[in-house]
C-alpha cells in the first residue's frame, strides 16, 4: 500500500534484523523496505530508498549509529531516525538526540510499543523510552546529581490502573497516563527530586532531604486532584541508606519504601517513622496510623499519613 510507513532497519546483527523485519512486516501499515548492517550502508540505503523511518542501532562497526544519524539529519532531513540501544546512559541518549534522532528506545522495548513508536515518529512526534526521558531531564536540570548514601525515596503508582484501561480503552487510557506522568514529573522538578525509575504507571523518585520528598508527594496529589483526571495515586516514603549502581538503587530502604507505598490507598501519602521524624512538625501535618507488618520485612513498622488536603503552606 502506498500509505504504508516505509522502514529501513540498521543493525549489525542479522538475527536482530530478521526479528525486527518479521514483526514489522506483520503490521498492516508498516513495510520494511531494506536492511543495513552498518552505519555507512544505512546512510547509502536511506538516500537510495527514501524510507520514512530508520531504526538505527547505535553500536555498529565502521560508521556507528550516531554518526549515521547525524549524516542523515544533515543530508536527508525528511528521514526520521529512531535510535535503538541496549543501554540508556547519557553517553548514548544525549549524543543520539543531538545528532538528530527523533526517538530513542532500548532493545527490550515490547514489539507493539516499537510499532506504535514508529507510527508516532512518522506523524511528527518525538518518542523516548522512560530511561531516555530521565537522561533528558537530567540535562534540562543542569545535570542534577542522583542522591547517594542516605536518601529519601518516594514511590507512587496509580490505583487500579488496569481497570482504567478496561474502562476507557487503550488510546484514552494512554492519554490519561501521559497527563499523569507530566503532572508527577512537574512536581518532582519543582521539589528538586531525581526520577530514578518509571515502571508502567509507577515512579521511584529520590531526594536529598525528607521534607522536599513530602512536598513533592503533596504537590503531585494536589495537581492530580485539580486536574480532574479519573485516577488517584498512592504514595509512600521512606528514608535510609541505599546502594547505588548503574541500574538504580538497591537495599532494605528501597524495599521498605515500596512496601509503605503498597499500604496506601488512592489519594493517600504514607511515610515511615524515620521520614516523619526527619520532616519535623513545622507546616506538615501527620496522623499516626499505628504499627503494621509489611510483607517480607521483619517486625512491625510505625506508619504515618500525610494530611495533604489542608490549607497549610509548608514550603
Average pLDDT value for residue range 23-51:
96
Q: How much is the pLDDT for 133? A: 77
Residues of the chain with CATH 3.40.50.2300: 5-138
Bridge partners for 171 per DSSP: none
Residue 245 is predicted with a pLDDT of: 80
**If you average pLDDT over residues 265-281, what whole number do you get?**
95
The Cα–Cα gap between 252 and 224 comes to: 30
* Reported confidence tier of residue 202, pLDDT bands at 50, 70, 90: very high
How far apart are alpha carbons 21 and 33 in whole angstroms?
9
Confidence (pLDDT) at 248: 84
All cell numbers assigned to 134: 530521565
| CATH, domain 145-306, list 2.60.120.260, 1.10.1060.10, 3.30.70.1230, 3.30.830.10 | 3.30.70.1230
CATH assignment, 5-138: 3.40.50.2300
Q: Would you say residue 114 has pLDDT above 80?
A: yes
Q: What is the pLDDT of residue 145?
A: 72
Q: How confident is the model at residue 130 (pLDDT cuts 50, 70, 90)?
A: confident
DSSP state string for 45-83: HHHHH--SEEEEES--SSS-HHHHHHHHHHH-TTSEEEE
Q: Are 254 and 243 in contact (CB under 8 A)?
A: no
Residue 38 in contact with residue 54, Cβ under 8 Å?
no
Question: What pLDDT score was predicted for residue 281?
Answer: 78
What stretch(es) of the chain map to CATH 3.30.70.1230? Answer: 145-306
pLDDT in tens, 44-62: 999 999 999 999 999 999 9
**What H or E segment, with its residue span, contains residue 187?**
helix 170-191
Amino acid at each position: 500500500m502506498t500509505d504504508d510507513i516505509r522502514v529501513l532497519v540498521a543493525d549489525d546483527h542479522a538475527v536482530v534484523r530478521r526479528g525486527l523485519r518479521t514483526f514489522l512486516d506483520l503490521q498492516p501499515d508498516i513495510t520494511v523496505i531494506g536492511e543495513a548492517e552498518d552505519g555507512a550502508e544505512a546512510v547509502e540505503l536511506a538516500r537510495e530508498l527514501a524510507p520514512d523511518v530508520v531504526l538505527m542501532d547505535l553500536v555498529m562497526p565502521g560508521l556507528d549509529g550516531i554518526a549515521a544519524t547525524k549524516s542523515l539529519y544533515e543530508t536527508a532531513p525528511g528521514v526520521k531516525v529512531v535510535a535503538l540501544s541496549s543501554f540508556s546512559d547519557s553517553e548514548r541518549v544525549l549524543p543520539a538526540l543531538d545528532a538528530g534522532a527523533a526517538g530513542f528506545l532500548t532493545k527490550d522495548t515490547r514489539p507493539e510499543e516499537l510499532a506504535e513508536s514508529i507510527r508516532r515518529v512518522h506523524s511528527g512526534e518525538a518518542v523516548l523510552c522512560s530511561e531516555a526521558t530521565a537522561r533528558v531531564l537530567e540535562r534540562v536540570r543542569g545535570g542534577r546529581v542522583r542522591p547517594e548514601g542516605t536518601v529519601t525515596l518516594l514511590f507512587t503508582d496509580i490505583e487500579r490502573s488496569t481497570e482504567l484501561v478496561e474502562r476507557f480503552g487503550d488510546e484514552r487510557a494512554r492519554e490519561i497516563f501521559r497527563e499523569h506522568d507530566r503532572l508527577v514529573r512537574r512536581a518532582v522538578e519543582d521539589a528538586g527530586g531525581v526520577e530514578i525509575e518509571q515502571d508502567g504507571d509507577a515512579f521511584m523518585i529520590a531526594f536529598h532531604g525528607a521534607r522536599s520528598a513530602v512536598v513533592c508527594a503533596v504537590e503531585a496529589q494536589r495537581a492530580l486532584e485539580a486536574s480532574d483526571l479519573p485516577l488517584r495515586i498512592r504514595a509512600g516514603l521512606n528514608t535510609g541508606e541505599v546502594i547505588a549502581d548503574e541500574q538504580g538503587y538497591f537495599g532494605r530502604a528501597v524495599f521498605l519504601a515500596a512496601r509503605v507505598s503498597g499500604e496506601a490507598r488512592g489519594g493517600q501519602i504514607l511515610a515511615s517513622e524515620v521520614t516523619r521524624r526527619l520532616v519535623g512538625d513545622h507546616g506538615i501535618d501527620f496522623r499516626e496510623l499505628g504499627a503494621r507488618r509489611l510483607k517480607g520485612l521483619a517486625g512491625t513498622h510505625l506508619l504515618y499519613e500525610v494530611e495533604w488536603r489542608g490549607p497549610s503552606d509548608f514550603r
